[in-house]
Amino acid sequence: MTAYLVRRFLLMILTLFGISVIIFVLLRIVPGNIVDILADAAGFVNPAEKARIEAELGLDKPIPVQYAKWIGGLTRGDLGFSYVSEKPALDEILPRIPITARLAAAALVFSILFGVPLGVISAVKQNTSLDYGLRVLSLTGLSMPAFWLGLLILMAFVSLTGTLPIYSAAPKSFIDSLIMYSVPAAAVGFRSSALIMRLTRSSMLEVLRQDFIRTARSKGASEKSVNYHHALRNAVLPVITIIGIEAAFLIGGLIVTETVFNIPGVARFLVEAIRWRDYPIVQNLVMFVALIVVVTNFLVDMAYTALDPRIRYSD
C-alpha cells in the first residue's frame, strides 16, 4: 500500500511537470502575445517599441530560459507578475479562489441534494412512469448547454422577482449571499446532479439485486429500511466517482456560468487571461487547476480503497 502511494505520488509529480511544459510551450507558440494586445490598444504596432517591451517582460529570451525562470520562481513561491495589472500573480489569483470554491461547493451540494434522492427513487420505482420521467429529466440536464441554462435562469429570476442575484464582494446578509451563490450554483450543478442521479440509480439497482440485501429482507428488515439504509450506504461510491470525473468538467461549467452571472472567480479570470495572453496568470492558473484535478483523482482513488473492500491495490 505504501509503495503504491509513493508510486502514485511520483506519477502525480510527473504529470504536473508534463502539464507545465505543455502549457508553457503552447502559450508561447500561439501567434500574438501581450505586447501585440497592448499595441492593439494603442491602435498600431511599432516594431521598436514592441521589442523594447518584450525585452522588459523577458519575452525575448529563449523558451527554455523563460521556463527555468518560471519553475525556479514556483519553487520559491514566486509566481511572477501579471503582464496586465503588473501586480504579483499570486495576489491576483489567491483572492479569486474562494469565490470559485464557494460556487463549486454550492454546485456540488446542489447536485448531491437532488441527484442522490432522485436516483434512489428512480431505482426503487424502476420501470414505472416516475422512473422514466426522472430519467428523461436527468438526460435533459446532460443535454443543455450550461450557459444557456444560466441565461434562462437569469431571465426567469429577473422576470419573477424583478431583481438580479448579481455578485457583490460583501453580501449584506446571509440570505443575500445564499441567493447570490445558489442561483448560479443551480446552473452549474444541474449537469452534475443529473450524472449523480444516473449513477446512483444504476448502482442502487445493482446493490438491490445483491445477496446481502436479500439477506436483510429475509431477516425481516422493512422495505424502507432496506432501501434507504443498506442500499444507499452502498451508493456512496458513485457520488465519489462523479466528483472525480466531474472535477475537470466542473471547471468548464464554472467558466461559462461565471461569465453569465458576472462572478469574478478564477474560472472567468482564466478566460480573460487567455484573451490577454497574460502568460504568468494563465500558466499558474492552469497548473493550479491541474493540481486540483490530479489531487482530486488521487483522493477519489484512496476513498475507493477505503470504502470498497473489494478493491485492493497491488504493486
Partner 1 sequence: MNKHTRIATRIALPAALLLAAFMSAGTAYAQKQGGVLKMYHRDSPASASIHEEATFSTVTPFMGIFNNLVMYKQDVAQNRMDTIVPDLATSWSWSPDNTKLTFKLREGIKWHDGKPFTAKDVKCTFDMVMDKSPTKFRKNPRKTWYDNVAEVSVNGDFEATFSLKRPQPAMLALLASGYTPVYPCHVSPADMRTKPTGTGPFKFVEFKTNESIKVTRNPDYWKKGRPYLEGIEYTIIPNRSTAILAFIAGKFDVTFPTEVSIPLLKDVKKQAPKAVCMVEPTNVSTNLIVNRDAPPFNNPEIRRAMALTLDRKAFVDILFEGQADIGGSMLPPPAGVWGMPAQMLATIPGYGTDKKKDRDEARSIMQKAGYGPAKRLSLKVSTRNIPIYRDPAVILIDQLKEIYIDGELDVVETANWFSKVARKDYTIGLNLTGSAVDDPDQNFYENYACGSERNYTNYCNRDLQKLFDQQSMESNFEARRKLVWEIDRKLQEDVARPIILHSRAGTCWQPQVKGMTIMINSSYNGYRYEDVWLDR
Partner 2 sequence: MRAAAFDSELAKAGANVSSRWGAARFLARRYPLGAIGGVIMIVFLLTALLAGVVAPYDPLATNSAHSLAAPGTAHWMGADNFGRDVFSRILHGARISLAVGIGSTALGCFFGVILGLFSGYLGGWVDLLVQRLIDILQALPLLVLALVMAAALGPSIQNTIIAIAIPLIPTVARVIRANTLALRELPFIEAARAVGMGDLRIALSHVLPNTLAPLIVLATAQFGSAILTEAALSFLGLGIPEPFPSWGRMLSESAAEYVRTAPWLVIFPGLAISLVVFGTNLLGDAVRDLLDPRQRT
Which among partner 1, partner 2, none contacts residue 142 (Cβ within 5 to 8 A by kind)? partner 2
Q: What is the DSSP string of 256-295?
A: HHHHHTT--SHHHHHHHHHHHT-HHHHHHHHHHHHHHHHH
Confirm or reject binding of residue 290 to partner 1 (CB under 8 A).
no
The residue within the footprint of partner 2, chosen from 259, 264, 299, 313 (CB under 8 A), is 259
Confirm or reject binding of residue 175 to partner 1 (CB under 8 A).
no
CB of 209 to partner 1, least distance (A): 48
The footprint of partner 1 on residues 182-221 (CB under 8 A) is none
Between 54 and 301, CB nearer to partner 1: 54
Between the CA atoms of 175, 178, 181 and 183, what dihedral angle is there, to the nearest 10 degrees? -90
Separation between Cα atoms, residue 96 and residue 287, nearest integer Å: 15
Residue 120: count of CB within 10 angstroms of its CB = 19
Site stretch for partner 1 (CB under 8 A), options 30-38, 60-68, 134-142, 229-237: 30-38
The residue within the footprint of partner 1, chosen from 151, 179, 216, 236 (CB under 8 A), is 151
Burial class (CB in 10 A: 0-12, 13-18, 19+), 162: exposed
Confirm or reject binding of residue 105 to partner 1 (CB under 8 A).
no
Confirm or reject binding of residue 260 to partner 1 (CB under 8 A).
yes
Contact assessment for residue 188 and residue 111, using Cβ atoms and an 8 Å cutoff: no
Separation between Cα atoms, residue 205 and residue 203, nearest integer Å: 5
Separation between Cα atoms, residue 299 and residue 315, nearest integer Å: 18
List of residues contacting partner 2 (CB under 8 A): 11, 14-16, 18-19, 22-23, 26-27, 29-31, 132, 135-136, 139-140, 142-148, 151-152, 155, 201-202, 205, 248-249, 251-252, 255-256, 259, 270-271, 274-275, 282, 286, 289-290, 293-294, 297
